[in-house]
Chains A and B, each alone.
Chain A
Amino acid sequence: QKEVEQDPGPLSVPEGAIVSLNCTYSNSAFQYFMWYRQYSRKGPELLMYTYSSGNKEDGRFTAQVDKSSKYISLFIRDSQPSDSATYLCAGDSGAGSYQLTFGKGTKLSVIP
């Protein structure tokens, strides 16, 4: 069962564009939703996490969760070449499960 699905891309955008990255999930028990950024040959870096439905903003990044449609989004405003990376979404039930379910990642390239 593919619990978290993500379009692998690659996605190429010009510098300054608004980027929208999306995931769908199937596990209704998910309460926490995470976005990780992974640069080439590096470990994933936690960008932000949200609890339940709603929006969370951190600088140029906004995470959005719609539990009714099981849809997770990450928006990047004023994208920069340094945002070029693979973005992984993940879900967790939060009930002491300890096990995140990751999407396979979307590769983003921001072209100067």
Chain B
Amino acid sequence: DVKVTQSSRYLVKRTGEKVFLECVQDMDHENMFWYRQDPGLGLRLIYFSYDVKMKEKGDIPEGYSVSREKKERFSLILESASTNQTSMYLCASSPWTSGGYEQYFGPGTRLTVT
């Protein structure tokens, strides 16, 4: 079974803090993704990576950055957290053979910024 793990299930941070969300997958997948999920807005892609040290912007990259130093690990960074970044953050991975359509998700991190 594909396993995608995320460093925290729940996180509370203050406005202006730098926040790191970590994601690790154990299936040797080339592609990794970060989404946020909000009621009424659905899943929105923040960034994705198709290889180590490679990254591409998704639909809503503003206020976020990412890092992929190792194949199995993809980090999302909120440089200066704001209240409008309160959300559920979901990491996913997919094998190179599928491009992006066969994505496997982690359990999510519910981030609250106060």
Q: Given A43-B107, A99-B48, A99-B58, are A94 and B101 also a contact pair (CB < 8 Å)?
A: yes
Interface size on A, residues (CB 8 A): 24
Q: How far is the CB of A33 from chain B (nearest CB, A)?
A: 8
- Contacts of A32 on B, CB cut-off 8 Å? 101
A42 adjacent to chain B (CB < 8 Å)? yes
Q: Are B101 and A42 in contact (CB under 8 A)?
A: no
- Contacts of A46 on B, CB cut-off 8 Å? 102-105
Q: Are B106 and A43 in contact (CB under 8 A)?
A: yes
State the CA gap A99–B41 with chains docked (Å): 16
State the CA gap A46–B110 with chains docked (Å): 20
Binary flags per residue of A77-112, CB closer than 8 Å to B gives 1, else 0: 000000000001010101111111011110000000
State the CA gap A32–B97 with chains docked (Å): 13
Look across to chain B and name the residue whose beta carbon is closest to the beta carbon of A43: B105
Q: Are A104 and B40 in contact (CB under 8 A)?
A: yes
Q: Closest 5 A-B residue pairs measured CB to CB? A: A43-B105, A98-B100, A104-B42, A32-B101, A92-B101
